[in-house]
Amino acid sequence: MKSVKFNSEAELKTTVDYLVSSNHRTRFERTTNHGGDFLFSLKNKNGELIGKSLSYTSEAGMENGIKNLRNSIIDLSKTKES
């Protein structure tokens, strides 16, 4: 996953909180490339790109990648609360 740099810890916290609390369909944009591989992008609450996946050869693989990233974000939010 390629990502962008956050300007502050507060910006990071706001984005993580949004990603945990909002509908995951609005956070992840699913696409295919010219070769038919599957990719997804992760966007913040302003619709700005904050991360982009590598390509997947199957849609199921891409969905699994989204699920794993979502679980990592949830785990990150729990760590930040501690």
Half-sphere exposure of 74 (CA within 13 A, CB side): 9
Q: What pLDDT is recorded for position 5? A: 80
Q: What pLDDT is recorded for position 65? A: 94
Residues in the chain: 82
22-27 average pLDDT score: 64
Domain 2-81 in this protein, CATH class: mainly beta
For residue 15, the tally of other CB atoms under 10 A from its CB is: 20
24-41 average pLDDT score: 89
For residues 36 and 55, is the Cβ–Cβ distance under 8 A? no
pTM of the model: 0.75
- The DSSP annotation for 11-64 comes to HHHHHHHHHHHS-HHHHEEEEE-TTS-EEEEEE-TTS-EEEE---BSSHHHHHH
| Boundaries of every domain in the chain | 2-81
